Amino acid sequence: MSRTDWEVVIGLEVHSQLNTASKIFSGASTAFGAEPNVQASAVDIALPGVLPVLNRGAVERAIRFGLAIGATVAPKSVFARKNYFYPDLPKGYQISQFELPVVQGGAITIRVGEGDKAYEKTVQLTRAHLEEDAGKSLHEDFHGMSGIDLNRAGTPLLEIVSEPDMRSSAEAVAYARALHALVRWIDICDGNMQEGSFRCDANVSVRPRGQEKFGTRREIKNLNSFRFLQQAIDYEVQWQIERLEDGGTIQQATVLFDPDSGETRMMRSKEDAHDYRYFPDPDLLPLVISEEWIARVRGGMPELPEAMKARFVADFGLSAYDATTLTASKEVAAYFQATVDAAGKANAKLCANWVMGELAARLNKAELDIAASPVAPAQLAGMVARIADNTISNAIAKKVFEALWNGEGGDGADAADQVIDCQGLKQVTDSGAIEGLIDEVLAANPKSVEEFRAGKEKAFNALVGQVMKASKGKANPGQVNELLRRKLQA
């Protein structure tokens, strides 16, 4: 069988660390980077006589997520004890939710690929439930032993479980990116993957194309980058296909991805739910969420990416691709909106081009987030306005942008005007002056004139370039083209 004879089936479980100041069942800090074991309270490690108290802020963040994905927020959900032994789980169980999760159902629409081959797909979600995180095992700098840091124990998590709707690593990565953007957009998680705030487990199986029954899945644990997610899935898919084609079988298992070798390796045989001996936690009452509570949370929700995307298309005439790019993160969307507000709705497309083009390229090269951009929205808007009214050309605008990036012109909305005036960059639009430059260029380039009249269009472009050079880039390109062609055809 060839690779195309197999169908890949992927579902993701994403652990999103909620950005509360304290833990889900205690008042201990969730701040990252503290010395080991200084933020593990008696509640977090379940010392005798302690009782957990649910963090209201964690629940509100779960409600916010449920509303954002169009899910059902359960009026009553239950916390359970998930029993298993692991070195960094000192109490021998994890408080989680099982049969009655706080968020049920919902969906996320993703965009996969680029250009003409891009397509949209809706991924259904099974659930999202609240739970506490475990501690962390440390395997370096301990002279052959492992250390345990319990600072992370009790940190609030929202585990988001998808249906097995994805059929390629590209779809899985697109879904993970969309989910990552969403939890940051609605401000429930900082999304810092290096610090473990957003981690993915990928359930991967393959089956002969056309077969309805799912193959046996293997779960790839704790993937903390989109690149590793794609590499791990691609390797695992190829490994499973080759094993089945060689006559072997797939054993349900939990595996780890080694970024150095690019391979997955088995960690343990995969447990099923009954292995964890779930039962309702006797120390916690059922979580009851009223309609009034949900309504209050809904009232504080920001405009969501899909709604903003549709508005950008309807109000600003942007393409679906542009609108998707500009709503990829809350920060980019906010920057673009502020730029349009300052430059005017009529200049929205021009603003979009500069935000997605020159600004994005500069930020990427400098390894800066858009929130740290040296060019503020009002400054970019001022420059866009000067392009729109023909004070400067697009080519000259790049010089203006360079100056703004370097802090020239001040930090006000008139910064672009200051740069244009100080550097003498105003575009030449006087027809007489442009015609004079054209006459000089034609006289100095008789060969190019003959070649154009002989049908060589490249000669025309060369003459345009000479006129622009003579004007030091200041002549209006549209006028140059029109007047030059008129003279050559006279």
Where are the chain's structural domains?
3-293, 303-422, 431-489
Q: CA-CA distance, 252 to 156, in Å (whole number)?
A: 28
Cβ–Cβ under 8 Å, residues 328 and 355? no
Going residue by residue through the chain, which has 490 residues, state the pLDDT in tens, using 9 for 90 and above: 566 799 999 999 999 999 999 999 999 999 999 999 999 999 998 899 999 999 999 999 999 999 999 999 999 999 999 998 888 888 899 999 999 999 999 999 998 988 778 899 999 999 999 999 999 888 877 777 888 999 999 999 999 999 999 999 999 999 999 999 999 999 999 999 999 999 999 999 999 999 999 999 999 999 999 999 999 999 999 999 999 999 999 999 999 999 999 999 988 776 666 788 999 999 999 999 999 999 999 999 999 999 999 999 999 999 988 998 999 899 999 999 999 999 999 999 999 999 999 999 999 999 999 999 999 999 999 999 999 988 888 888 999 999 999 999 888 889 999 999 888 887 666 567 677 777 777 778 877 777 777 667 787 787 777 877 777 777 777 777 777 777 777 6
Q: For the chain, what's the residue count?
A: 490
How far from 322 is each of 171, 290, 295, 315, 353, CA to CA, in Å?
Answer: 20, 39, 33, 13, 9
- Write out the two tokens for 308: 């903003």
- Give me the residues paired with residue 205 across strands: 9
User: Given this model, what pLDDT does residue 473 score?
Assistant: 73
β-strand pairing of 136-138 with 119-132: unpaired
Radius of gyration of the chain (CA): 29
Would strands 253-258 and 263-269 be described as parallel, antiparallel, or unpaired? Answer: antiparallel
- The Cβ of residue 416 has, within 10 Å, a number of other Cβ atoms equal to 30
In this prediction, residue 275 carries a pLDDT of: 80
Phi, psi values for residue 268, rounded to 5°: -165, 160
Pick the CATH number of 431-489 from 1.10.287.310, 3.30.70.580, 3.40.309.10, 1.10.10.410: 1.10.10.410
Tell me which residue of 127, 126, 133, 62 sits closest to 95, measured CA to CA: 133
